[in-house]
Structure 1
Amino acid sequence: MSIDEQTAVLLNYRNAMRYHSALVTIAVLIGLVLPYPAHPAEPITVIGYYAGSPEKVATIDAGKLTHVIYSFGHLSGNRFYIGKGKPTQTVRNLVALKKKYPKLKVMLSLGGWGGCATCSKVFASADNRKAFARSVREVLDAFKADGIDLDWEYPVVKGYPGHPYGPEDKPNFTELIRELRRELGPNRELSFAAGAFQKYLDEAVDWKAVMPLVNRVNLMTYDLVHGNSPTTGHHTGLYSTPLQHESTDNAVQTLLRLGIPANKLVIGAAFYTRIWENVPAGYNGRYQPGKFKSSTAYRNVQRDFGPQTGYKAFWDDTAKAPYFYHPSRKRYVSYDNPRSVELKTQYAIQKGLNGIMFWALLHDKPNGLLAVIDRVKRSGRK
């Protein structure tokens, strides 16, 4: 090889190394400015809320989950608190699942329906937010848990009867999320459960400020028709209908229009029914006046609403939702079944969402709705 050829090779090598160095620098800089990652390790995240005894933890089919969320921790003053005795043992048993399922994430949730009576007042103070965030880190460290899910129902808009709320909750919630992310660092998971009804979506959260800081939002796309609603409807329908605006798709599309990344959105399935009584027969009980009666677990659907009970089963092909109506007892039932859960899981995959979650694990039956989610996830159908 001549001197000129050797010189050319050396120059090419040096240029290649400069190019490689520049790429590495750019990659590092991008890593510093990107928001907290949302991409699940699996095709989609599958998240189950657990609200049961320590003994029942052994019944969880954790191999079908990416996350399990303990429900619920509470506020003690301005600190996050897991009760002694059974609550503490339940969390320990959930974390112990990680020995068999090392990829499983175990998170702790604050609040729940009726569980955030002092949230508005406590989180109005910067000092309280700091104390709370510090206590969250300490609790997570003590249990070796993976993160926290905030279930404040609700900031800004009316939630549990009698619980304080106001417009100041919106910036306070943002600052709470910021304080938690600062305290927890980049590796602990941070999420929140959000109302999926239009008023919450429009008023309760500064989405553009909050979403870069969290791993995901768990949209509670159930109870969309609730006990105080003036009429019946689909409480967990996938799509809106001419007579019902609220739906899973409406919540997702609302946030996508705001520029929220699809891979930060988790939709919810209901592993329980909602039942109304004194419901007229029009539309087989849909969109009729009625009085909310109660809820039942999905595992009891066949027993309580099967053909032997006099209930008639229906399918709304616009909402992609099932329902029952009892003509003589004038009772209407809204729920999720294997068909609707399959469609919701397909929707999450097709839309590139972060995943699907459900309330609650112990409402299911063996080879029930979680098995449907797992089957669709594994098939990866588009």
Structure 2
Amino acid sequence: MRAPRFRTRLAAAAAAVLLAPLALTATPAAAEETGAREAAASGLTVTYTESARWSTGYTGEITVHNVSDTPVSDWTVEFALPDGSRVHHLWNATLAGTPEGYTVTPPHWGADVPAGGSYSFGFNGLHSGGATAPVGCLVNGSSCAGGPSHDSRSVAYYTQWSAKERDYHVRDLVDSGSAGRLTHIQYAFGNVSADGECFMSNEPGRGDALADYGRVVPAEESVDGVADDPDQDLRGNFNQLRELKEMYPGLKVNISLGGWNWSEHFSDAALTEESRERMVSSCIDLYLRGDLPEIDGAGGKGAAYGVFDGIDLDWEWPGSGGNPHNTVRPEDKENYTALVQEFRDQLDKLGKKTDRHYELTAFVPAGGWRLDAGYELDELMPDFDFVTVQGYDYHGTWESTTNHQSNLVVDARDPQPVISAELVVQAYLDRGVDPDKLVLGVPFYGQGWTGVEPGPDGDGLFQTATGPAQGTYAAGTEDWKALEEKVASGEFELFRNDEAGTAWIYDGETLWNYDDPTAMTRKTDWAQSQGLGGVMVWSVDGDDAEGSLMAAIDAALSD
């Protein structure tokens, strides 16, 4: 087990925000692991608000959140207070102990924490001018911040279009249990204009500000069960992410910039010192300072402050071809390094003002030739908190032969020019990257072909196809949850290559290569065995209502 990465930075953040997690002092490793497992089971987290302060006193409120589907009546919150602070009078709960170790239990008349709801109690305290936020907080013996029981990174991309096009809402992260299994959410995507600046738009193909922060989310889709007020300045996905972070205080949310469709202007934005400064400043103002343009009555200065904890760069790809509309220059390689440095410098400058650390991450490619064309890894990696490595789309329906899209090692039967996660990761290691900064990407979708003959082994793999199979949303791809239904129907036969960590289904004509919970466990175990920093998923809306894939990853990371 690697040392925890997140709690040291949370401690610095506590003084800078009003709403703070009560889990800022590390507990012994064994107790922390046991407590975190219990937290996941109980579904309880705790947040703290200092609502008023005067010369020697203050008022604080502690809220116990219950994300499970059953009410909790027997709860205990334990915490200490910083030197110079103490509770003077507490109401709506029972208090015992001293500032070095308080214990709070329900009042004598009882106080259930309802399913999917919360219960709050408050107190007046005395202070000596310093911090007042409780430290070392436990709820029912578990970390008040909730979150996964492991210290690896578990990262999921949540897309701008998940709610509207896939009927997968931020609330579904809670209902499926996936939110409590994640350390990071990367929100995809933010766009960069031809002028080289981050911007918002409702113009099709350029942005969806309505989905981001304009849509009024109804109560049944809302994380906290309360509908958005049409007059509030932050609505939509951004407000739901803010509510999710209040429920899971240890969760980090980063804005991911670019992607396949929106990397068009990165080369221009990175071209000069002036253009780099302009791009970075605009992205920080928009997402981290939260200064959203007013669109359809939403937005305004500071409207989205606190939603995002950092920037994820998804330039596909510096120095080599991605989407055909991209501008590509030989000098992209050096300019990408300079752009990353500019992000790190401006993020650190903002962090000094807000007393917190802002993350900088990136999605990086499969293939050593792309690395050599566009990445100076020895100069880049010190500026990144971590990078997520493409572990999928190794093969797909742009090819006429069926194959694995996300194999760990080379399949001996593969007649194609071979690729595997093992080879991809080794390309980074050979260039001096610390494996702990590498997070392996895994797919929550499959690649499919039709017109496929059985072949000599009768399983359709490595056989010529007539074209892509039709998926729910596009030809050639399908969510895991839909593929699992095909397996359950009995129409398809399931095949595996356990060593490669792959699965595929075949009905005599159509083949889908995909990852199920068994394959996810194998991939996660492999990533752990290589000393990698964790696992990333694209994208979480491909999971089922029970969060089965995310649960498999979480269990493997926790072993």
Determine if the TM-score, normalized by the shorter chain, exceeds 0.5.
yes
How many Å separate the matches in 1 of 2:489 and 2:244? 39
Indicate the SS of the match to 1:53.
Answer: helix
* Residue of structure 2 in register with 1:78 after alignment: 196
Report what 2:520 is aligned to. Answer: 341
Match of 1:48 in 2: 156
Cα offsets for 1:84-127 (capped at 9, x unmatched): 32212212311321111111001000111212122222222321
Instruction: Give the alignment of 1:225-236 within 5 angstroms.
Output: 225-236=395-406
Q: 1:219 aligns with which of 374, 384, 389?
A: 389
1:295 maps to 477
Higher RCO (C-alpha under 8 Å, 6+ residues apart) = 1
Amino acid of the residue matched to residue 106 of structure 1?
V
1:315 aligned residue = 496
Aligned equivalent of 1:368: 548
The one-letter code sitting in structure 1 at the alignment partner of 2:441 is: G
Out of 170, 178, 184, the residue aligned to residue 57 of structure 1 is 170
CA contact (8 A) 2:396 2:448 kept: no
- Matching residue's letter, 1:56: H
Amino acid paired to 2:453: P
How do residues 1-382 of structure 1 correspond to structure 2 at under 5 angstroms? 42-51=150-159, 52-53=162-163, 56-60=169-173, 61-76=178-193, 77-83=195-201, 84-88=209-213, 89-138=236-285, 139-142=287-290, 143=304, 144=306, 145-185=308-348, 187-242=357-412, 243=414, 245-282=418-455, 283=457, 284-290=459-465, 291-293=467-469, 294-306=476-488, 308-309=490-491, 311-327=492-508, 329=509, 331-365=510-544, 366-378=546-558, 380=559
Structure 1: which amino acid aligns with 2:334? P
SS at match of 2:468: strand
Q: Alpha-carbon deviations, 1:143-194, whole Å to 9, x = none? A: 3210011111112222123323232221111111011001101721011111
Unaligned runs of 5+ residues in structure 2 are: 1-147, 202-208, 214-235, 291-303, 352-356, 470-475
Q: Is the CA contact 2:196–2:268 (under 8 Å) kept in the aligned structure 1?
A: no
Per-residue deviation at 1:58?
A: 0.9
Shift of 1:315: 0.7
Does the Cα contact within 8 Å between 1:201 and 1:251 map onto a contact in 2?
no
Partner Cα distance (1:252, 1:198) in 2: 9
C-alpha contact (below 8 Å) 1:197/1:224 kept by paired residues: no
Residue type of the alignment partner of 2:187: Y
Q: CA deviation at 1:307?
A: 5.0
Show CA shifts across 1:308-351 (max 9, x none).
Answer: 22x22111234221112221x2x221111111110111122222
Q: Is 2:453–2:464's contact at 8 Å kept on the other side of the alignment?
A: yes
Letter in structure 1 aligned against 2:468: F
Letter in 1 for 2:548: G
Partner-residue secondary structure (3-state), 2:163: coil
Q: What CA RMSD, in Å, does the superposition of the two structures yield over aligned residues?
A: 2.1
Query: How far apart, CA to CA, are the structure 2 residues paired with 1:157 and 1:332?
Result: 31
Paired residue type of 1:372: A
CA separation of 1:161 and 1:228: change in aligned 2, threshold 3 A: farther
AA at the equivalent of 1:65: L
Secondary structure in 2 aligned to 1:289?
coil
Q: Classify 1:150/1:256 alpha carbon distance in 2 versus 1 (closer, same or farther; 3 Å).
A: same
Poorly superposed stretches of 4+, deviation over 6 Å = none
Write 1 or 2 for the structure with the bigger share of strand. Answer: 2
Between the aligned partners of 2:185 and 2:254, the Cα distance in structure 1 is 6
- Partners of 1:190 and 1:82 lie apart in 2 by 21
Distance 1:306 1:48 in 2: 26
